[in-house]
Structure formats: structure tokens, C-alpha cells
Structure 1
Amino acid sequence: MNKDLFNENQETFVSPNAKAFVVVPNLPEILSPLLAIANNVWWCWNSDAVELFRRLDRDLWEETYHNPKAMLGMIKQETLAALSEDDSFVSHMERVKGELDKYMSMNTWYHDSCSDYADMKFAYFSTEFAIHESLPIYSGGLGILSGDHLKSASDMGLPLVGVGLLYRYGYFKQYLNSDGIQQEEYNENHFELMPLELVKDKKNEPLIITIDIPKEKISARVWKLQVGRVPLYLLDTDFSKNSKEVREITGELYGGDRNMRIRQEILLGVGGVKLLKALNIDPGVIHINEGHSAFLLLEKMREYIEDEGLSQAEAFQLVQSGCVFTTHTPVPAGNEIFGADLVTRYFEPMYKKLGFSAEQFLALGSFPAKNLKMGNPSDFSMTILALKMTNKANGVSRLHATVAREMWSGIWPGLPRKEIPITHITNGIHTNTWISYEFAGLFDRYLGAAWKDEPADHTIWQRVAHIPDAELWRSHERRRERLVSFARARLKHQLKRRGLSEIMSSYADEVLDPEALTIGFARRFASYKRGNLIFKDLERIKKIITSKEHPVQIIIAGKAHPQDGVGKEIIKQIVSLANDPELKYKVVFLEDYDMNVAHYLVQGADIWLNNPLRPEEASGTSGMKAAVNGALNFSVLDGWWCEGYNGDNGWTIGSIDEYSDREYQDEVESKAIYDTLEKEIVPLFYARGIDGIPRGWTKKMKMSMQTLGPVFNTNRMIEEYAKKFYITSALSHEKLKKNKFEAAKKKAQWLINVRNNWKDVHVVKVEDNINGEISVFGDMSVTARVYIGSLNPEDVSVQIFSGFINSKQVVSSQETYEMRLVSKEGNDFIFEGKVFADKVGRCGYTVRILPQCGGEVQYISELIKWQ
């Protein structure tokens, strides 16, 4: 299998004894700023910097897949000499270098808004980061989100460091054979040709992180990628010090068997914590982005126990207070699990150091009885480990948080769904990364330059209304034309690769119409995303697509996981349909979906189609990227679209109804797609004025950008994480660490005491002053007699839990009211409180007891007592 980056036909020869050395660019002194710019990927979201590197050599720019560092090493010396004499180019370079220097030194949102916390540091762990197409160490949505997270953290001055893995072969490159079956190819990443710096120790030797695993030792080098102001540290095991098996750990993203996956996640979690320690970075909070890195929680516990002499309970409190977690998918397969035997084999030395028995250790990641549909009793869930050992957790949209609370409710038995401690922070996009050059120009003229620095400012986005319809439409048409041109060229390359002759592949030059309504669909080809739903009724979609008066076309892209046979079959079906004589010029499947392909699609499509099975799409972000580029979303009400759709800024597919019959659901929702296309979307797109402008369509485009642009961006998202998760958690963590961990020790002892005595806690008797009815807006008094054994009253929170109540005693529209201690009678404590009747109807209440520490209610698994 060929793994060369640039030349697929280059012959290779294996020479085990060859000595390796690195050749570095040799730039004229006047052009030395080019290397400084290339080594900070800030350039990839600065259009002026991108144009600077394109000017170097446009052919080489494409040949290196838009990689400035590689370009500088490959460009001819005579070209560099000529550029050094080109005053225009030198001036352009100096301007960009000045912009970078200004960016790195200017005040930021965090400096201005969070100056009291200037000394804090935060760490962000993710198994993949998508920064740019020239750094192919990502797969899809999780990586895109992680990359955008770092970029906005940089823009906003958040004191963040990223931690991940550097994959030698990354994720696979996709190509289709002549039968339309997906094939996978892994190309080697040449780290020396990427904007990476090998981190050195005090002796100027490569910094090596070591991890002991059974019968072996993992050694990892560390590379730094500078993402604007944010350093991203990446661990790499592919070097000569390691055995072949260890070198392969950072070979492929999501590759290998379960043994390989657990090794990767040990390296990311355990190795990542060791890396931060080696760099003297002590983050106040660690953000676990999906469960892959959750083993870091165990390594942090080990640090506190061995380095600080703390007990297991004390270390647990400190780790929990300083870590937060984001879960990204409601799909069971997306939540990493390992067999108990495998986890035990790798972690037996660790859990013994932590003072756990095998049973206690496995319980940290075991599935509660209620959640066995998610996994087997013997499975160890990384999501459960993260939920149990962090102090805050979130889903990535409001609906996803609701689904996640239901999914993982077994961890908190007895706690109402609404109160399960999983909140939501909805995903966003890094607007500057995804906006087209044409629309950026429009925004500069009509929104003002501030849109780049303050993309979450609603007042700025309201100025979209000032963009003349004609300018908006012409800019969008240019992007559609670019998309069609790109799709034609890529399709031709695909056909030739499959063995078609120049003549037989020449039809690619004529596919698609640059003026036709263009639907974009691009995402991972998992079965729940239903990539072929639009083709459910083939005759009906053919009728829509082949209309001579109002033509419609579809451009599709996406990869299936190498082991996902169903996803591959869907791709094969679509490719077969694209070869249908009636659809051949109207439906195109683009191979090897990556960030570059995504840019063309989200910037050039008119409609962005999204039809997952609700509620399995946790968030989705491709529709957000399309929206800021003027495309209109046409989506199932799932993920982010539940929050984004307002009735005037796009279209929905179907309703929020749930179906037990998948085939029936597909039939209903595919029909909804056809109906909306025929009755609303197509007529609106082709309703042109005398000047050729579809003013109804441009009105909807503006509404979409005005309402979605300021909300669904990672600047807003970062601000939420900073204020709701990072700073509050860091303050709590710091409080526990003060005075030689005094507060941590007290809280640990408090929890031990509460757990030991909770079995005795119960509600003895409840009385009230109501006799059947109460007037709305009135109140009633409730008295509760409770027994708390040897606990103190300040150890518990006694609450009234009320709301509407149905015939099955199910309480909805829930409210809680804190009760106050009024007296002690014998061994019982008397608490009083009031219920306020602000709703009309059949209501009810009950009393419950929860643990409380330092005046804060604690939601702890199994520690809740109901009346």
C-alpha cells in the first residue's frame, strides 16, 4: 500500500541502516518572515496570509495541498531569489508578519473580561484535531470541533493548551473502485514538512514521555503545533526507541483492534498528564473532549497520591474538582467501551497504587443496570468513567443534553431527569475558518471589520440587512460556480483513477449546472445519518432533479468507517445512482471528503441537507458553516437545528414525532423532503425578478445569517465554557488545594461520613396546611420531620419537590423549594418550607433529602432519599 505524501508513483527501497537527517528551507534573509508565518497555523484563518503563500507558487500550493512549510522546502531557489527582489511581494509579506505580530500581542476578550483570572491555565484533551487539510490527523466532526475550539480560544486569549496524538498515517484517504465500493489508503505524514516543532528537554534532547504498560514501556516524543496563541502538544511513538508494536500506537486514527485502541487512549490520557507535568504546566482545569482521554483522571489521582501523600478519597475530590467533560454522541457505538479483562490487564498496577480493589476500579466505568442497553455488565465505559470523575459535564446541544440525561440516568438513580448533572453547551464553528473569501469581503464592507473579532455580537450580524440583494446574490453565485468547477475537476480525476479513458471521463467536464439549485450533503456515512434518504422514491426525486424549467442537482461527499459495511453499501448505492443516465449529470459523489472539500461545499451550496434519525445527531456543525456562507438549511429537527430554526431561516424535514418503525419513518420523512422541495424550496429559488435576483430567497438568506451567525460560533461557545465550566471549576479546585489541601481533606472525610451513614437517613413524617385545594398564586406550608442519624443538619438539604401530577403519580413541570431547619425533637429534626401555587391544575409535592457540603447541594450517585 502506497504511503507517500506527494508522489504516488515514486519507487521506494527499504534500507534499515540508512541514517536520517532533516533538510530545512534555505530562505534569503529578507524572506525569513515567511518561515515564522508558516510555523504558526494562524495563517490558515487569515485570508491575506493564505494569498501570500499562494503567490509564492500557485502550482506548488496545490501540489503540497496548501502546505506552506512544505512549499518553503520545495520551492526553487531562483524563485525565492526573484521574490526577494519583488517589492510588492516583500511588502505583502511584511504586512502579514505585522498582522501576526499584532495578533499575538494585542489585548483579548479574556484579558479584558476575565482579568481576575489571568494566572489560570486550562488544558483541552482530544483524540483528534482538525486544523487544516494539510495536517491530516483528523477524521471528521469531533476533530473539526476540537480545531475550531483551539482557534477561538486563541482569538479570545483563553489561556489554553491542547493535548492530542500525532498520527503517522492519520485517517484513511478514500477512493472508490469501479464498482463504487469504498477503498482505504493510508498516506504517510512527513512531520518535518508540517508546521511542527519537536519539543526538547533542558539538555536540548527530544523530550521523551514514558509510560509503563504490561511487559513493555511506551516512549513518546512531543511535537508542538502553534495554533495562534494556543500551543497544541502532540504525542508520537513512531521512532526507533520503541518496538514495532509501540511505534504503531500513533500509526492510524481509529485504527487497529481493541488492544490498539486502549493503548492509544492510555497514551493520550496518562501520557498527556505526564507531558503537562514535564512541561511544568499545571492546569486549573482539564477538559476531556469525549471519553477517549478519560484515563487521565486515574493518572491525576496517582499524581496526588504519590506526589502529595493524599488518600484515595482526597485525591478523588481534587481530580473531580479540576476536570470537566463533554460527551459528543448519543449513539452507543460512539461511546468508547473496553472489556473488563482488557482494562484490568493494563491498569492492575495503577488501580492498586490508587488503593482500589479490582471490583472497585471496574465500578468506575461499569454500566448501571438501567443502562445495560448501552453495554454489557462486564464492559468498562470511558463515558461513565468521565461522568463519575468530573465535576461538570455537558452535551453539545440542548436536545443532546436531554438525551444524554436519559441515556446515563442510571448513574444517578432516584434523581429526576431534569436534575441529572449533564447540561448543554451547544457547538459552534470558527467563523473565520469557514467563511468564503467573497462573503468575507461583503461582511467587511457592510458589517464592518469587527465581525472577525466579535462573531458572537448580534448587533453586528443585524447589518446583514444592509447588504444589497444583488451583491449578496452575485457573491453566492460565484461560490456556486467555484463549487461546480471544483466538483467537475475532482470527478474527472476520480474517473481516471478508476481506469476510464480521457474520452470516457470527459463527461465530467459537463456535469452540474452552475446556475441550478444545488443541494449539498456531506458527512460521515453512518447508517443513522441516512445518506440515501433523498433517493427513497427514485421516480419522484428524478422528476424533481431532471426538471428542464427548474433543475435541481445534488453534490454528496463523505466517508464510511472502514469496518462499517452498512455505510459503505449506502455509498455504493449513491454512486450507482449517479451513473444512472437520467441522473449522471445531476448527482455527483466526491471522494475523500476532508476540510478542503468541505470548504467548497458549504461555501457553494444553496441548500444544506441534513436528515439523521432524530435524536441521534448530537449537534452537527456543517449546517452552521453553510449558514454563514448564505446556504439555507433543510434539516430534521435534531441537534443544533432545534435551537437554530425559527420558521423563516430555513426548512425542516418532518416533525419531532418518534417512530418505532424505521421503514415507515423513512417513508414519511422522504416524502416530506419531496413535498418541501416541490412546494417551497424550488419555487422560491426560481422566483426571479426582472433583474434575475430571487428576492424571496435572498431575504431568507439574510434571515439565516442574522439569526444563526451570532449564535452558532465557537467564540460564543468558548465564552460559555470559560464562564460556566473552566473558571468556576478552577476556583473550586484551587480552594481544595489551599493550605496543604485542607479543604480537600475535609470534603473527602465529609463524603466518607455521609456514605457510611446515609442508610439511616429518612423522612419520618410530612404535614401541610392544605385541605384539597389552594388558590393560584397562593402558598401552603409544609413541615417535614426527618431522621439523619449521626449526620449534622448542615450535611443535608431537605427539599420540597412539586409540580403537576398525573394519575400515575408522575410529576412534571418540577420545582424545588429548600426547607429550613426550625427545631429538633428527640432524635428528629424539623424542617419547614412553602410551596407556591403558580400553576392551575392537579398538582402534588413530596419531600426529599440530598447531601449538602459547604452550603452546596451534591448530586452524588445513590445519595438521595425520597418521602
Structure 2
Amino acid sequence: MNISTYTVKPKLPNSLKPLEEIARNLWLSWNFDAVELFIRLDYDVWLSSHQSPVRTLGMVSQERLVEVAKDDSYIARLNEVYTRFLKYKKGETWYRGSRKDVVAYFSMEYGMDVSLPIYSGGLGILSGDHMKTSSDMGLPLVGVGFLYRQGYFKQLLNADGYQQESYPENDWYNMPVELKTGKNNEPVKITVDLAGRQATAQVWEVKVGRSSLFLLDTNIPENAPDIRNITATLYGGDKETRMQQEILLGIGGIRALRALGVNPAATHMNEGHAAFLGLERVRELMSERHFNFDEAREAVWPTNIFTTHTPVPAGNERFDIGLMEKYFRSWPQILGISWKDFLSLGRERPYDDSETFCMTVLAIKFAAYANGVAALHGVVSRKMWQNLWPGLPLNEIPIDHVTNGVHPRTWVSSNMVELLDRYFGPHFEEEPTDLSVWNRMDRISDEELWRTHERRRERLVAFARERIRDNLKRNGAVERRIAQAEDALSPYTLTLAFARRFATYKRGNLLLRDPERLLKLLKDTERPIQLIFAGKAHPMDMPGKELIRSIIHFAEQHDVTSRIIFLENYDISMAHYLTSGADVWLNTPRRPMEASGTSGMKAAMNGVLNCSILDGWWDEAYNPEVGWAIGRGEEYEDTNLQDEIESKALYDLLEREVIPLFYQRGRDGLPREWIRRMKTCMKQIGQSMSSHRMLMDYSNKFYFPALKNYRRIVKDDYAEPKALAAYMGKLRQAWDSIKIQKIESNAKPIMQRGDSLTVTARVELGALSPDEVLVELYHGSASNHGDGIENANRAEMRSVGQEGNVVVYQVRIECADTGLQGHTVRILPKHPALVHPYRTGFIKWA
């Protein structure tokens, strides 16, 4: 069938023209007054459009548009919002430097607004907040991802509580995306090779305030059906589909930026999915600059950043060697290396033929900067990947951490933002990086804060009842059962929420472990509680689906369906209701399997108190003034014992602390102590877990140094990386001949604090000169076992002479700590172009 296509846009009266610009910029997703403009056009249309501003404009009747264009109050409000929008785009920002070169941020998913369903959960929401915050701060950053035709699935629960999935098609021409065009108004397209077949992708742009997100789309006629499906669904298909997606994201993403005229001077891989970009960046330099592989790699390494979100080895993407051979057999020839050397780039044990190819390993090896997403996750990540740096002490493994954060004006409810704006002043919106503004929480009266929170709980209950009714109707429930939905939940009862991905390690059913004890709390006539659950299980995760079903069955079997409810199809819209309307946010993962988590941060900024295992972000944020800790950070080998102990600890907290505190009311009916904790929680978490703090951390630790590295690298025809590559080649040849011959010191069996200790080392350097290695004294408290040094300090030793081919190094330190002390000497690489000296395989101990 030969079909001619064209795009029809709404015909807006001149006075309403700004609506289209606002609708197509996700600035509105964190400015509710902009959203209200579309709600006011036609509330029923707004709901039927699935809260999509672009689609709303297309669905509202022409008569209604003409009518609104004559409404002076509406036009006044529109002009007010539009003026704020323009002021935001042109205003001064935290970053005021050059925008010529950018950081390119790569992620498989982005969760920014319900109108753009290209996310599944936490990783996507984080990426969305990353983009929004980058816009607020004016950072030179662009995003790269996929425009999924179906996105993640829509969750449907049948009458038995079993999760089913549907995949509605996205209509991009009625969503806030724009096809990028080039010469002759033709779409910008790039190609990648997929096992000898050419895959073509076009590029779309999403405007996020001041920033741009570019999305690749293979659903175009010139591609074969299976290639068109590469960008069909998020986390769908088999391993081969995943391979194709990750080639397109990493390699195709770099090519898309080039086609758009964007220079990715530095790249940030948000998880290992985009790690192939390292290969593409190397290939570019080899092709354009005629570098060899080592030179190109040294030019790319200082400008790559990698963030890992995975706290367990099994969660890291791995590909079988057969699949690697199918898709990358030609790459060794392109890069001028052997097949074994190519595979070693993705292996912990470089030449172990039995090891698969790991995307996390590839990302780490190509990035000078790597980080976990919470302080505890940084520790976990260093332990997980310490084999990549054999001989390097755990605390020196070059994997840092930047704790995740959330975008306050996105996640704090509109009612609460209105209250905060009133007391925080314009500073809160106009200077979001000044986190001290949260100290003004004490200005807000208890009455106003509590009434705002109660209003959000009332809205949550109304929302939940409507969702329950819809679910019952769809499943063919009788009218009596549907009518009972009106009694589900109470707007006056202590409300606990558990909303997140339903994976077994998150233990969504932990609170159900002792039915008798739970039922007593639910049915208490004076101090009752109610539970709201929400979340999706991965379509292939049968145990996760069974968890959902068990919660629904528990409520029905014990006749507490008005006190325990499960809301289907957890998404951004529902998250706003839950994180602002609950009283307590539950989180019960098995420590240390939660890398960070961010839903509790969103809740906390709304004054919702967390009750959580000390894992992820809560491990560093918790104190008794902002919520409750389940346990004390213990880790268990026996998971059944862990569940037993921690479920009892949770019940104890609820019975002895949480419930009494909530229902402890004064004569005015206010829970004053609870409100005090709400204020402290908002004040502390608003500052420490803001995404603006997160992006300032990323900028100062990684982005700015990486961009500085790039500007230095390209000078003098890339002289620096060429010199570094030559140095590393020389180091490889000479490394085995380096020997620490002898260590001497003036140490006596008993030393006094303040005494000077002089240590001398004699080192054979072979073909290396003294200034080409870093010789360090490694000293500190000797372990009780005598096999290591704890809380070590390092002091660089200086060359003080040479005896034949032996170089003498010396350093003097002061004895500062008491107790049993020890020292040794080690050698590391040293070159001015090294971001850090920790290169795999290059550390030598005495």
C-alpha cells in the first residue's frame, strides 16, 4: 500500500501561540503553573490525552481555542508563565564558561514526564533529573538515548493479581519531540554496522529547558523489520537485541552527535550500556588523525566518565564470545590489535578464554573517572572490581562515588512548592544551587506545613480510589465490589507506601511475614495504619510477579482490602501522588544490594519520613531526626534469618515509635513532634540529596577536569597523548626489570611521637629514568596479623643519588600515630598526562 504522509498541527490563535513552545519544552514538567494552562483548556481532554500538553493542543476543539483566546484572565496567566519561561532560558546560571565543547551524557532511558514514556524506573528517572538539573545550572551537556516506539510496558493486574503487560505505541508527532533535519530539510541520519548489515537511525530532539536530549530511532522504512525493532521496546528482546541496542547507543550515539555538529569533548556513560562509545571515539582518532591504537586510547581515556549503578556482579551486562565475534570480528583490524587483545578490553582476566565480555569492564578500562552512586555503593564497587587493579589497596581503587539526588521542583508537590516559594523567596527558584535556602524550613508554621501535607494525603486517597475502581471495572468485578472501592483507605490514617521495582531483593512482602502482628496494626480502631504498594516486575521476572500477587492475595484472604492496596502501572504521575501523600516511605532491600535508590529522597523533600534498611543513600543520610533505620547496617549470609530479624525490627519500630509518634496529638490536633521531624527531614535531605548538589559534584570531580583534559589533549596536534602512549609503551617493556633492592631506615624498636623517620630505598629502574616512576613510602598502623597496613598514608620519595644502575630514593616523615606502625615501598607510573597513576598491572611492592 502506497501511503503519503504529512503532519497536521493545531491552528492556534496568535494570543495562544506561546502554548506550543511551552508544550514542546519539558521545562513545564517542573513548573506546575505551566501545566495548569493545559488543564484549563479542557480538563476532560487533558485526562484523555494522558496528560500530554502537545496532544492536548491537538485534541481541544477549535471553538474552545477561539473562546480561550478571548479570555483575558487566561491570556494574562499565559503571558505571565511565558515571560517566566523566557526569563529562565536567558537567565544567568551557575556555569558561565565556554559551551563550545560539551559533555555527552549517554543513558538507555530517560524519565522526565508522563507525556514521554521512554523510561522503566529509577535509572531513567535519575537520567531525567540529570538533564533537568543540567538545564538549571547551564552546564554544557547534551543527552543521548533512544526514542522507543513502545517504551516500557503498561502494567495490568488481572482478577487474580497476576501482572500482565501491554505495549501501547507512542505517537511521536503528538509528543514533545522534534525530528532533526539537515540539508534540504531531510532528517539527520546515521548508520552503524550490525554483523555486516547496515542499520540506519534518525535523530529526534527533546528540549529540556536550556538543554537538549537527542534520541535515536531505527523505525524507518529503509531498515529491515528486525532492525526497525531495535528501538521498539526498552529492555525487551533477547541478548542479540541488547547487543544491537548497545552498539547503536554507544557507536551510533557518537556518530549522531557528529552529524548534528556537536563535539562530544567528554562523554559520561550512565551504566555500561553505552561503553562501545569508547571504541568509536578511538576509531575516529585513528581514522582522522592516523593515530595508532595506544595513542588514540590515551587521548580518549582522560575524557571519559563512567557511572556504575549495579551492586552485584550478576547485574553487569555480559556477552558471550560467539556474539562478540558475530558483531565485532572486524574491529581488531580497524583498531590494529589482535582479537585476543580486543576481547581483553572487556575482561577482568584479560587473556582468560573462558571469560565473557563485560560492558562494565570495558567502560572502566576506557574511563579515567568512575563512580558509584552512593558512599556505600562506592565501597561495594571498589570491592567488586578490585581485580582490575591487582595489588592495589582497596581504598585506592579508582572508583569514587557521587551520591544520587533528585530534582526538587519536579518532585516536591505543587502544593508544597507553593508553600516553600512563599517562605523561601525567589531564591529557591532562581538560584537552585544555593542549597542553604532549605534552612528556612523553620520559618514555616506547623499548621501550614501539616495542612499542606494533609491535603496531599487526601489527594493520594482520592487518586488511589479512582485507580482501584478502574481496575475492578476492567476485570469485570460486580457493582458491590466496585462500590467498596469508595471505602478503600482513609484520608486520616497513618499511610505507609512501598513503591519501586518489584525485584525479590527489595522484599516488598517483608511486612507480611507475621500476619497476626500486621493485622493487629491494620485493624486497630484507635491508631490504625494503611499500606499502599505499587511497582512493576520485569516481564521475565516470575518471582517478582509472584510477590505482587502474594500481596494482593494477602489483603483479600484477610479481608483488609480497604487497608492494603496495590496500585497498578506505577509511573511518574503516580509517583508524584505517593511521594507527597504518604506519611512513611518504606524501603526494605537486602543490604548492600540497593546501589542508591531515589524514591525515598523524593518523599523526604515532601516531608514524608523514611523507614528503611541502611542501604544505598539512606546509609549516609539517616539520623534519628529524619526517619527510622531498620537494623544497624548488618549483612547476612542466611537470607531467611535476615528476613526474620529485620521483619521483627520493622514491626518493633512501627509499634513502639512510628505509630505512637504519628498519633501523639496536642489540643489543637497537631502531631507537633512528627511535624518537627518533617521540617528537619526536608531541611537536611533538601540540601544533601538535591540533584543540584549531585551535578555540582559531577561537575567539580569529573566534568570540568575532563573538559580541561580535552582542551589540553588537542593542543599541539595531540602531542600529550602521543607522548603518554610512548611512555606507557616504554613502561610495559621495562616494568618486569624494575626491582626494589633494599629498604633501610633509622627506625628503632621504640620511637616517640614527633620523632623523624628517614627511609631509604634502592631501586633498579632498568631503562627508565628516576622521574618516570613514582616511588612512594606506604606507611601506617600495622595490622594485628602482620600482613598489611591499615589507614595507610603515602609519601613520595625523592631521588637523592645513583649507584651504577641503582637509584637511591629517600623520604623523611614524622611519627604521628602511636601503636604498632609499619612501612613499605611501592612503585607506580608517573607522567604529567596521567589523570591518576593507577593503571592496571602497574604497581610494584617491596
| TM, length-normalised to structure 1 | 0.96
1:392 aligns with 2:369: yes
Find 1:629's aligned residue among 598, 606, 610.
Answer: 606
Residues 124-182 of structure 1 deviation map (CA, whole Å, 9 limit, x = unaligned): 11010011011111000000000000000000100111110000000000011122111
Residues 65-97 of structure 1 deviation map (CA, whole Å, 9 limit, x = unaligned): 110100111110100010111111111111111
Cα distance in 2 for partners of 1:142, 1:324 equals 17
Residues 24-50 of structure 1 deviation map (CA, whole Å, 9 limit, x = unaligned): 111122211111111111111112101
Cα distance in 1 for partners of 2:308, 2:30 equals 27
The SS at the match of 2:688 is: coil
Residues 557-616 of structure 1 deviation map (CA, whole Å, 9 limit, x = unaligned): 001111111111111111111223442111010001110010000000100011101111
* 1:52 counterpart residue number: 37
1:473 aligns with 2:450: yes
1:732 aligns with 2:709: yes
1:268 aligns with 2:253: no
The SS at the match of 2:635 is: coil
Cα distance in 1 for partners of 2:496, 2:748 equals 62
Is the CA contact 1:198–1:224 (under 8 Å) kept in the aligned structure 2? yes
Q: How far 1:455 sits from its partner (Å)? A: 4.1
* 1:841 counterpart residue number: 819
Q: How far 1:500 sits from its partner (Å)? A: 0.7
* 1:709 counterpart residue number: 686
Q: How far 1:777 sits from its partner (Å)? A: 3.8
1:822 aligns with 2:800: yes
Q: How far 1:652 sits from its partner (Å)? A: 0.1
1:76 aligns with 2:55: no
Residues 201-257 of structure 1 deviation map (CA, whole Å, 9 limit, x = unaligned): 112111111112223110101111100111110000012111101000000000000
* 1:217 counterpart residue number: 198
1:594 aligns with 2:560: no
| TM, length-normalised to structure 2 | 0.98
Is the CA contact 2:625–2:677 (under 8 Å) kept in the aligned structure 1? yes
Cα distance in 2 for partners of 1:219, 1:119 equals 28
Is the CA contact 2:137–2:433 (under 8 Å) kept in the aligned structure 1? no
Label 1:523 to 1:779 Cα distance change in 2 as closer, same or farther (>3 A): farther
Is the CA contact 2:136–2:432 (under 8 Å) kept in the aligned structure 1? no
Is the CA contact 1:458–1:706 (under 8 Å) kept in the aligned structure 2? no
1:537 aligns with 2:518: no
Is the CA contact 1:820–1:833 (under 8 Å) kept in the aligned structure 2? yes
- Give the alignment of 1:561-710 within 5 angstroms: 561-710=538-687
Paired residue type of 1:741: Y
* 1:188 counterpart residue number: 169
Cα distance in 2 for partners of 1:779, 1:651 equals 48
Cα distance in 2 for partners of 1:183, 1:484 equals 25
Residues 365-396 of structure 1 deviation map (CA, whole Å, 9 limit, x = unaligned): 013399x9xxx943111100000011100000
Find 2:320's aligned residue among 339, 344, 348.
Answer: 339
Q: How far 1:648 sits from its partner (Å)? A: 1.3
* 1:141 counterpart residue number: 122
Q: How far 1:288 sits from its partner (Å)? A: 0.7
CA RMSD of aligned residues (A): 1.4
Cα distance in 1 for partners of 2:753, 2:465 equals 67
- Give the alignment of 1:132-171 within 5 angstroms: 132-171=113-152
Query: After alignment, is 574-583 or 121-130 more displaced?
Result: 574-583
Cα distance in 1 for partners of 2:99, 2:172 equals 33
The SS at the match of 1:90 is: helix
Cα distance in 1 for partners of 2:466, 2:10 equals 32
Is the CA contact 1:794–1:855 (under 8 Å) kept in the aligned structure 2? no
Is the CA contact 2:312–2:593 (under 8 Å) kept in the aligned structure 1? yes
The SS at the match of 1:103 is: helix
Paired residue type of 1:675: D
Label 1:118 to 1:220 Cα distance change in 2 as closer, same or farther (>3 A): closer
* 1:447 counterpart residue number: 424
Query: After alignment, is 767-776 or 596-605 more displaced?
Result: 767-776
Label 1:456 to 1:637 Cα distance change in 2 as closer, same or farther (>3 A): farther
Find 2:271's aligned residue among 265, 290, 299.
Answer: 290
Find 1:860's aligned residue among 815, 835, 839.
Answer: 839
Q: How far 1:853 sits from its partner (Å)? A: 0.5
Residues 485-533 of structure 1 deviation map (CA, whole Å, 9 limit, x = unaligned): 1011101111111221232222111111111110011001111111111
Is the CA contact 2:101–2:263 (under 8 Å) kept in the aligned structure 1? no
Q: How far 1:475 sits from its partner (Å)? A: 0.6
Q: How far 1:858 sits from its partner (Å)? A: 1.3
- Give the alignment of 1:401-480 within 5 angstroms: 401-480=378-457
- Give the alignment of 1:357-368 within 5 angstroms: 357-368=338-349
Cα distance in 2 for partners of 1:610, 1:72 equals 40
Q: How far 1:456 sits from its partner (Å)? A: 4.6
Paired residue type of 1:772: P
Cα distance in 2 for partners of 1:309, 1:23 equals 48
Is the CA contact 2:371–2:401 (under 8 Å) kept in the aligned structure 1? yes
Give % identity: 47
Query: After alignment, is 601-610 or 333-342 more displaced?
Result: 333-342
1:32 aligns with 2:17: yes
Paired residue type of 2:234: L
* 1:351 counterpart residue number: 332
Q: How far 1:18 sits from its partner (Å)? A: 3.3
Find 1:127's aligned residue among 85, 91, 108.
Answer: 108
Query: After alignment, is 17-26 or 500-509 more displaced?
Result: 17-26
Is the CA contact 1:327–1:395 (under 8 Å) kept in the aligned structure 2? yes
Is the CA contact 1:369–1:410 (under 8 Å) kept in the aligned structure 2? no
1:552 aligns with 2:529: yes
Cα distance in 1 for partners of 2:303, 2:550 equals 48
Query: After alignment, is 324-333 or 238-247 more displaced?
Result: 324-333
Q: How far 1:658 sits from its partner (Å)? A: 1.7
Cα distance in 1 for partners of 2:735, 2:562 equals 70
Q: How far 1:121 sits from its partner (Å)? A: 1.5
1:831 aligns with 2:820: no
Is the CA contact 2:775–2:825 (under 8 Å) kept in the aligned structure 1? yes
1:89 aligns with 2:74: yes
Cα distance in 2 for partners of 1:837, 1:322 equals 39
Is the CA contact 2:734–2:766 (under 8 Å) kept in the aligned structure 1? yes
The SS at the match of 2:719 is: helix
Label 1:684 to 1:456 Cα distance change in 2 as closer, same or farther (>3 A): farther
1:101 aligns with 2:92: no
Is the CA contact 2:189–2:259 (under 8 Å) kept in the aligned structure 1? no
Cα distance in 1 for partners of 2:110, 2:315 equals 17
- Give the alignment of 1:752-763 within 5 angstroms: 752-763=729-740
Cα distance in 1 for partners of 2:341, 2:390 equals 18
Find 2:296's aligned residue among 290, 303, 315.
Answer: 315
- Give the alignment of 1:805-816 within 5 angstroms: 805-808=782-785, 809-816=787-794
Paired residue type of 1:432: R
Find 1:773's aligned residue among 750, 770, 774.
Answer: 750
Is the CA contact 1:800–1:835 (under 8 Å) kept in the aligned structure 2? no
Paired residue type of 1:310: F
Is the CA contact 2:605–2:686 (under 8 Å) kept in the aligned structure 1? yes
Number of paired residues?
Answer: 844
Cα distance in 2 for partners of 1:582, 1:817 equals 68
Unaligned runs of 5+ in 1: 1-15
Q: How far 1:828 sits from its partner (Å)? A: 0.7
Label 1:779 to 1:560 Cα distance change in 2 as closer, same or farther (>3 A): farther
The SS at the match of 1:109 is: coil
Q: How far 1:855 sits from its partner (Å)? A: 7.9
Paired residue type of 2:264: P
Residues 233-287 of structure 1 deviation map (CA, whole Å, 9 limit, x = unaligned): 0000012111101000000000000000000111111100101111121122111
